[in-house]
Structures are given as structure tokens and as C-alpha cells.
Structure 1
């Protein structure tokens, strides 16, 4: 058995392959390594420092300290996390690790014991949520990491129909999605599908139609997709807003005057504005309002 202050060569050390994700959790500076902690597994000596860290050392002969003889990969994981005093709060590193943990550890109890090292609650619900997140498509997870999606946001994605997730995973870089509008778009798509107002085939066709508009840049296509889905999700609201817009267009009013309203129709009324630079402009506004008083009243009643 290896004892403290035994000396072995670099060539005698083994390094985790399948569990290489563990090394990424270790934030210790390899320049401060004096004694290498090792574990024995299947009669091989495994370093708790990565191969890259060991390569930085100036000597090939190293003092080592035996931490434990492990009997399983679960034992290796727990020993490493305890020895290195790991406290990881990066959900994406957690996902990468647990994708591997789920594949090699069958016991839910054992998996739950690992959650606390990753700033997660030691509960069966938390474990189930994490398992679902780990099953999300890799391109989608990479995108979410780039957009800094939180654990809560990732959890919400697991409630989305798998076909919709699959569709949007292929479209991520064809649109200019922000984290917020991606959530809105994917939730509207899912809601339409659940309410049977829309089919997967129709969604694919809508995306293809918008993508085919070569004169539009990515931002314009994203805006169009969101607008189209919103209109499909809120047909009554869309119809009323279109009626109001049509009524405004029929007004005999100066182009200098802008009329807006709350598109959610939660707040009654209209907002009339004009950039006036003279008394003449103000008089023009007054005359226009008097001329269109009846029609403006009708528009207000529509809101």
C-alpha cells in the first residue's frame, strides 16, 4: 500500500478518463502541489490532480499520499468531492458532471448525496429536475449556457414538448434570439400545440416561410416569428387591435400626429402625440382633433 511520502513517477500515475469532469471542478493552483493525493481503484493509482496539472510540475518523481482505496466509481466521485472540498455553483458544469454520473450510478440515494456539492437541494425532486435538464439537446444546452440561462429557466424548458425543443434546437443560430424572446417564442409555440391551435407541421412551415424572406436580417425574422406566434396565440386580441389600427388609418389626420394605444387592451384609451415647434403646429393639432372628434371617440370605445 502507498504511504505518505512514498515517491512514484509520473508514468506510474493514472488519471480519470470517464470522470475527467471532476478535474474541472478543482480550482486549486497546480503550482502549489507538494504532495499528490491518490486513490487506488482496480489496483491502479489515480491522481486527484489532472494530467495537465502534473505536467506543469518540474519533476517526474512525486511524493504521494493515499486517500482511499475505492471500490466503485460512485466511491471515487464522493472521495474526490470530499477531498477537494468542492462547492460548484455553475449549473452548466453541474450538468456536464451529472450527465456522466447518471450513466454510471444507478442508486438515486447515492446521486442525491452528490447534489449538495453542486449547490443543489438534496431532494428527489431536485434530482429528477436535473435529470430532465441533462436530457435536453446538447446544442440547446450550449446555447442556454451562452445566454446564461438559470437553473429555473432550464427547468422550464423541460416542460416544453420534445418535438418543439427539437425544432428550435436546429433554428437557434438562424434567428437572433435573446434569452427572453427565446423563452417567449418557445412557450407560445408549446401553448399553441397544447391547445391544438397549431400542429408541428404548421410550426415548421411558419419557420420556413419566415426564413425564406431573404430581404430580412436575423433580427427582423425573429421579430416576425414572435409577432406571428403572438397573433396565433391571441386571435381575439389580434383581431381587435387590427380593427383599431384600421380605424386610425381611416382618420383624416395630419401625418405629424401619432396615435398609440395599449396593445394588450388592458388600459382603455389612446395616446395622441405631436412634436410641436410653433403655435401653428399646436393649432393644427387642435383643428385635427376637432375634425376627428367623433371618430376618435369611437376608437377610444374600441380599446
Structure 2
């Protein structure tokens, strides 16, 4: 049986500097575990385990777990709570500084990992892009993040939330928003809603890319000024002659042009533009 709070609210105060908001509703914790659906053979990395409430529920499945906590007081509480679980290891550290490759190789025997956590709002973007970079090590991700960020990741073209983040994750992950959670479900109460989001790594990227870094940089340039057209956002990359040739080829062969904004194009449009630029002579 999980004891749902070992935190003395008077002694341990959530730290704003660490973006701490603790889930206080056991019903929601159980729903999150149900959504993760941990199995005995799973290798789970939990980011920001706090006092170890979610960690303990996951550990009861028999899955092998490494849980990371930066806060010394919470780390000690989590370590005490989980000491009876031989399948669980509590690590004190900053996820942005931990060598995930080494952790995977040493603790998870080089197997792909499932990454879960209630992610601090103040570093959610950094963590998400770290996961994007380390995607080859990952099977899937279940994160509780601010609703605004979840909307941006899952947005499709034509939506006001659609942007570079949406396209970058769409290349490598299948994304689904599971449900929203009120800020009142946290201690202290959060000012915004959170969303539980599930990212499943695709076996192959949605489009074939020879140089992923260059392609992602190109997409970022396309969204660099949201109110400007694609033409204006990429004109610094091409001389006038190449830009005119690109527009002509798009118009003749692909039935669209550069006078639209990036939010009006999907991943495959960006790939067509990129390929034409890449194979232009000179």
C-alpha cells in the first residue's frame, strides 16, 4: 500500500527555483500509472521523482526503475521510501547534467528506456529537446507538462500553436495528449493546467533525412519570424537566382509557393523545399 504523503508541508516547502509542484491527488497518480502501463520487463527512467509517490507505484509493477531527483531533501525521502524495492534505484542529480547514455549502458544493460515524469515547468523545453536528441535510446515518453507546451508539441498545421516544436517532434514521434489536469491538483496549486502527453518513438523518421541537424535547422529558420512568409524567412540562405528557381520548381512540380507562412505547411512541404535547395547546383 502506498502512503500518499511523507512530506511535512511545514518543514519542506516547494522550491520556486526548481519549479516544484507536487501532485497531491492519489487518484490522478493511479491514472498516470495506468496510462504508463508499466510491465515487469520495462526499463523506466523517471525524471524528478520528488518524494517517490509515482516511483513506488511504478516499482510495484516489477519494472526496473532509475529515478532522478535534484532536491537533496526529497531525494532522501524517496530513497527511504523505495529502499525495499530491489528493482528501483534513486539517483541524486540534475537530469540536464546526467549522462543518459552511461546510465542506460550501466544500469539498463543498453536496452531502450521508457522515460516518465512530472516535469518542472521552468526546464520543460530543455528536457524535451534533450529527449529529442537522445531519442535513439528511448522507447517512449510519458510526461506531465504544462498544457501550453503539450498543445505546441501536438499541434498540426493551420493551428496557432503549430511551430518548430510541432514539426521537430512529428518527424520522430507519434504524439497523443491523454488528459488535462487542473492546477488545483498540485501543491502548491499551479497557475496553469497540465497535460499528460505520450510520445512514442517511430521506428523510422516520418521523412527520410540524410542530415537531421541541417534539416531541423532549416525548419527552425522557416519559423524564425512567424508573421513573415517562408520566402522572407529563408531568403538569407539563397541568392535571388536560386530563390527564383526554387519558387518556379515548387509552383510547377508541387503546386505551392513560398508566399505562405510556415504554419500553413506540413512536414512534407518542408522536406520538398529542403530537398530542392539541397540539390540546387552551385
- TM-score over 0.5 (shorter chain): no
Q: Looking at secondary structure, tell me which structure has more strand per residue.
A: 2
Q: Looking at secondary structure, tell me which structure has more helix per residue.
A: 1
In the superposition, the TM-score normalised over structure 1's length comes to 0.28
